[in-house]
Structure formats: structure tokens, C-alpha cells
Amino acid sequence: MKLKITPSDKTGYLYPVTCTRKILECPVGTSTLGAELEKRLSKVLKSMGDEITLCLCEDFWPSRELVSSLCEIRREAVVYHGENKRVVAWISADVNIPNRAEWMPADPKSLIIAAPWHLLSVNEDIVGSIRKSVINGEVRKGVTVEGNIIVGKGTVILPGVYIDGNVVFGEDCKIGPNCYFRGNTFIGNKCHVGQAVEIKNSILMEKVSAGHLSYVGDSIIGASSNLGAGTITANFRHDGKSHRSILNGELVDTGRRKLGVITGDNVHTGIHTSIYPGRKIWPQMSTLPGDIVIKDIMP
């Protein structure tokens, strides 16, 4: 079976994450969305002959249950999502949607990646399923791990680091001393997370630096960004309701009770920056010391 991933015309909804990269290049899990899609669909690709093609929309994330169902299909089929029955995947003899085929709904665990915070959901799905630690770097004495971790080559985790959950560390990172990780978190290559920093259920892309006294919760931090000492991301409403955020010019309900900040690449925050929940910061933007980010920051 061949795999073809078809492009989406709605990647602008994922700004500021996709301002500088394609959706399939977004870091999640242990690598990128594109690589994780291929990994998830590998069982389907092995279950059928070479004459069949599986097509999938790039902004569709299939659940494990849906993948199992596709493995059992031995004929042309179409998968749709939602009440409007948007076609998100199909199996056919060529790359075209088959005219005569079984139509099947995507299950509730499958996801349309229609907003940047949906990447957090995909990351939670992948990282949360890690069942075995793989350590190719150095974990020094005095590190506590309550979960499973993947540590890339050249990465050093220093004493006093506490890990509560599953965390993926890329290559050539400096982690610690005395910082705290929890939830399902992805740390990209060449990152620095230092003294008294807490990272919870977040994605840090490559070359992110959070060196001192900061909290990053349920957030996505773009590549080559620097968080000044004391940068705090709020991620919980006082009334406990789900957060709202601007998407394509409209204020929408994210469906998430916990949501921090989403930044593009090369963002720099001044010391003691405080960021309201669900705010977004576009690439190359910065804050001054003591700033309170109430609204999205964009050019």
C-alpha cells in the first residue's frame, strides 16, 4: 500500500506556529507531525497490497482505534469527519476519492488539527503512550524520573531535575539543574531549561532557552525563542471554564481548561513578563521587562 498525504488550505488557522513551517513540519511526539503520521499509519500500509493507495489530509490526526479499523478493510473506503461529512481519508486504487466505496465516520478520538492548540492534543496522545525510557544522552545522579523519558544524544540532565510524567528530550540539550517537568512534554534539539523553571505539558521547539525562574504550562514555544527570567504563562481561568482565543479574527472556545501561550519562532520575552492564557505571539516579536500580555502580539 502507498501513502499520499494531501495538503490543506487551512494552515493559516495554525498561525503563529505555521508562519515559518508547514503543518507536517511541526514538532510533536518524538519528531514531526509528518513523521508521526507515517509511523501511526505503518500498520495500515503493511496490511494491504502495493496496488492500493491510502490518502490522508495533512490536518487530520487518526486515532489508534481508527487505524485498527482501517487495517481490517480489504476494499475501497472513505473516512469522513463531523456533521458536514468532510472527507479526511480514503483507500482507493489511485489517488482519487472512490465513487463507490464504504463511507465510515471518524471516531471521536480522531482530530482535525484546525487550531495551534490542537498540536498539544496530538503531542499528549503520542508522548502519553510512551511505555519505555530510551536514554542516549546523560542523566546524572540526583535526577528523579517518575515516568518514561527519551533522551537524545548529547543531552545532559543535571542534578536536581524532577520529571513527573513522560518527557521527550531532543539532542544536545542542557537541562537543569533544579527544574521541574510534568505532563506530556516535548523538548526539541539544543534547548536550555535551567534553574527553577517548570515546564508542564508543553512543546518547546529547537533552540529554545528558558534559563531562569519561569513557568511554561500547556504552551507551544517556537524555535530559537528566549524566555527572560521570571516569564510566567498563565494557563487556568479563575472560573474554571475553557479558554477562548482569537482564531482567524474570531474569538473561539478552545475546549481546553488549561492553555498557556503559543509563540512563533524567534520570540524574546523581557524579564518578569506575564502572559494571559490562550494568547499568541507572532515570530520575531518581543516584550519589555515587566510587560503583561493581555492580547495577541503580532506585526
**Enzyme catalytic residues:** 212
Q: Give the cell for residue 298.
A: 503580532
Q: Give the cell for residue 176.
A: 537543569
The H-or-E segment that residue 67 falls in is: helix 64-72
Other C-beta atoms closer than 10 Å to the C-beta of 38 total: 16
d(CA 57, CA 113): 10
Tell which residue, 260, 256, 248, has the closest CA to residue 298: 248
d(CA 189, CA 125): 21
Q: Give the cell for residue 287.
A: 516584550
- What is the Cα Rg of the chain in Å? 20
Q: Tell me the one-letter amino acid at 16.
A: P
Q: Tell me the one-letter amino acid at 66.
A: L
- Whether the Cβ atoms of residue 81 and residue 90 lie closer than 8 Å to each other: no
Q: Which residues contact 108 (CB under 8 A, 6 or more apart)?
A: none
